[in-house]
Amino acid sequence: MTMNIVVLGPPGVGKGTYSGILSKKYNIPNISVGDLFRNAIKNQTDLGKRIKDYVSSGDLVPDEIVIDLVKTRLEEDDCKNGFLLDGYPRTVPQVEAMMKFKKIDVALNFVAPDAVIMDRLGGRRTCRKCGAIYHLTNVPPTIDGICDNCTGRLVQRADEKPEVIKKRLDVYREKTKPVADYLRKKDLLADIEANYPIEEIDKIIAQCEKYLTLL
């Protein structure tokens, strides 16, 4: 049995964290489109240079670029028994394209108030050297501004500054929320309440498992 799971929700709601936990539990790959973007940017490929301009300003990467990137990734061998796809689809054309090249079993739609999201994203710090992620309140480094793993410098990503976060949320509401509406009409959407602190993350995972056991 395959388990093809789409993970939806606004930036900063915690999709990556929840997907990582579910990936280990069900032994399927956790595919983050954001990571695919960042790897392309880090490697300074032609595609990466194009993506960087969109990501830094908080805009969505054009559909045709994202669709090709995701389709290629889902064709790899580790996805034959399923996957958790975080960060795609983000527009109706993207979800319509996916329905043609890959079946969706369920879309987990994580929701939380804007205030919670602003706090989560605004407090994030990323190591410039190894990419480790910290949070000033929830997961602080031992030494302020220094990565515990490699002693690299911790920085705030351009897309996690307050003015960019606000724009990202506005873009989400305008272009991505219709994806949830589309999937709801297809009876594929499962709303997950993600307004819990990190120490109560089991309550969020339990909601996911309620739907996944029905697959």
Of 38, 90, 120, 125, catalytic = 90
Chain mean position to CA 25: 18
Length of the chain: 215
CATH number of 3-113+175-212: 3.40.50.300
- Does the predicted model carry a pTM greater than 0.75? yes
90 catalytic? Reply is yes
pLDDT means per 10 residues in the chain (215 residues)?
Answer: 91 89 96 86 84 81 88 92 92 94 95 88 92 90 96 92 87 86 96 92 96 89
For residue 126, the model assigns a pLDDT of 94
CA dihedral 184, 190, 193, 194 (to 10 degrees): -100
For residue 196, the model assigns a pLDDT of 92
For residue 153, the model assigns a pLDDT of 97
Of 52, 120, 125, 168, catalytic = 168
Of 71, 157, 177, 203, catalytic = 157
168 catalytic? Reply is yes
For residue 102, the model assigns a pLDDT of 94
